[in-house]
Amino acid sequence: MKTVLIVALTLACAVLIGRQVTMERGLRRAARRMREQMADETTARLALPCPSAGAEELLVCLNDLLELRQEERAVYRRKEQELRQQIANVSHDLRTPLTSILGYLQLLEQEELSPEKRREYFQVIEGRARTLQVFIATFYDLSRIEGGELPLEREKVDLGRALSDQLAAAYEQIEEAGLAVEVDIAPSLPPVWADGGAVTRIFSNLLTNALRHGEDALTVRLYRERNTIVSAFANRAPDLTAEDAAHVFERFYTADKMRTGQSTGLGLAIVKALAERMGHAACARWEDGVFTIEVRWSV
């Protein structure tokens, strides 16, 4: 009887020791795999034998942590790439007018330069300097809006009146651009809670964008859709694509891949940032050669 008991205990101890050894080897393999994955950033999950429910739960937690770390690294890489692109775009938008200013300053050093040419070069330099001033001010404003540092005061704003005022103020530019403008503002629209100055800037930026890039005609509509008032600016833009429409609100994005300096790509970014700061939304779409930007105002 004692012999049987001793044998049974010995077997039990052997089984426990075996399980412990197996578990320890499994944990060591898991640790080694984790170190390897952290080094090469692979997306594989740990797949190891689990001698117990507790070990299996631990493995699940480890895999969740690995996936979370990989997602964080992907987000970091994407943000780093976006930052580098933004820095490159800022450098370009600063360098282009600065290079022009320096070039004309060198031309002004010519002794035989006529008074008319000298006056012309000074006007060009002034224009480039103002372009720089506008770009820096706009970039600063966008940074303040996105950072929540630009104070916005909520009040009831009549969108119909605000839009009509902006269209009237831009009448001369519309005439110079040669655009046929069709305006449809629904009557008796309720006011929305917004900052009056921000609303004016949104409509001004949308008009400027349409005048700069639109062709032939511009359609401006303001109408109610359930609990939303929609302001829509639509114009023909055959050179754009659906992909462009998906990116127009990004900083410095322009459909001009060569970045000729005619647009900094910040105007629409400000539209979206201001709309969202006030609790509203902006979206864009491109269909059959027509580019439409909408701001959807919650009533």
Digit-coded pLDDT (tens) for 24-77 = 666 676 666 666 655 555 555 666 555 566 666 766 777 777 778 778 888 888
Which is it for strands 180-185 and 192-194: parallel, antiparallel or unpaired? unpaired
Query: What does the DSSP 8-state code read for residue 149?
Result: -
Share the mean pLDDT of the chain.
80
Phi and psi dihedrals of 138, rounded to 5?
-65, -45
For 205-237, give one letter per residue: b (16+ CB within 10 A) or e.
Answer: bbbbbbbebbbeebbbbbeeeeebbbbbbbbbb
pLDDT above 80 for 167: yes
Higher pLDDT, 211 or 254: 211
Query: How much is the pLDDT for 35?
Result: 65
| CA–CA dist 54, 62 (Å, integer) | 12
pLDDT of residue 176 exceeding 80, the answer is yes
User: Measured on CA atoms in the order 159, 164, 169, 174, is the torsion positive or negative?
Assistant: positive
Predicted confidence (pLDDT) per residue in 105-122, tens digit: 888 888 888 888 889 989
pLDDT in tens, 219-228: 999 999 999 9
User: Does residue 120 contact residue 108 with C-beta atoms inside 8 Å?
Assistant: no
Nearest Cα neighbor of 284 from 276, 296, 293, 272 is 293
Q: Which of 188, 207, 216 is nearest to 295 (CA)?
A: 207
Per-residue pLDDT band at 82 (split at 50, 70, 90): low
**End-to-end CA gap in the chain:** 88
pLDDT single digits (tens) 227-274? 999 999 998 887 788 888 888 888 766 544 433 344 456 888 889 999
Domain boundaries in the chain? 91-146, 155-298
Angle, helix 196-213 to helix 267-277, in steps of 10 degrees: 150
pTM: 0.64
CATH of 155-298, one of 3.40.720.10, 3.30.565.10, 3.40.50.2300, 3.30.2010.10: 3.30.565.10
* Residue among 183, 152, 176, 164 at smallest CA distance from 277: 152
Integer-rounded Cα Rg, in Å, for the chain is 31
Fold: same for 91-146 and 155-298? no
In words, the CATH class of domain 91-146 is: mainly alpha
